[in-house]
């Protein structure tokens, strides 16, 4: 392969990479994960119940900032737990 053809091929591949890598990064960040099966099992809701909410639960891992959705230690794969939410796993001990 001549140096000229090798250079052209390199430039084409570089251009394709600079187009698709940022796109793939944006798509990955846009997706929020929820574990719907466990949400149903533990009767998760986005609103508090009788003064109980995720913010006061020991299993809750707050988001950044604290008003953003967080995670629950007992619901793996879910990073959209509302600080104002509630489920039957609520625990303060």
Q: Average of pLDDT values for 67-81?
A: 95
- Residue pair 69/79 in contact (Cβ under 8 Å)? The answer is yes
For residue 92, what pLDDT is reported? 83
pLDDT tens digits for range 1-54: 577 767 777 777 666 666 656 655 555 555 679 999 999 999 999 999 999 999
Task: Annotate 4-14 with b (16+ C-beta within 10 A) or e (fewer).
Answer: eeeeeeeeeee
Contact by Cβ (8 Å): 76, 34: no
Q: Which residue has the tokens 């809750």?
A: 60
Whether the upstream peptide bond of residue 65 has omega within 30° of 0, thus cis, is: yes
Residue 93 pLDDT? 73
pLDDT for 67 beyond 70:
yes
Say if residue 55's pLDDT is above 80. yes
């Amino acid at each position: 392969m001549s140096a000229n053809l090798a250079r052209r091929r390199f430039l084409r591949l570089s251009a394709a990479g600079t187009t698709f890598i940022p796109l793939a990064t944006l798509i990955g960040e846009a997706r929020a994960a929820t574990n719907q099966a466990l949400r149903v099992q533990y009767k998760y809701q986005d609103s508090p119940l009788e003064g109980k909410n995720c913010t006061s639960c020991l299993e809750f891992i707050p988001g950044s900032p604290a008003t953003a959705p967080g995670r629950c230690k007992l619901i793996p794969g879910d990073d959209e737990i509302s600080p104002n939410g509630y489920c039957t796993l609520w625990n303060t001990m």
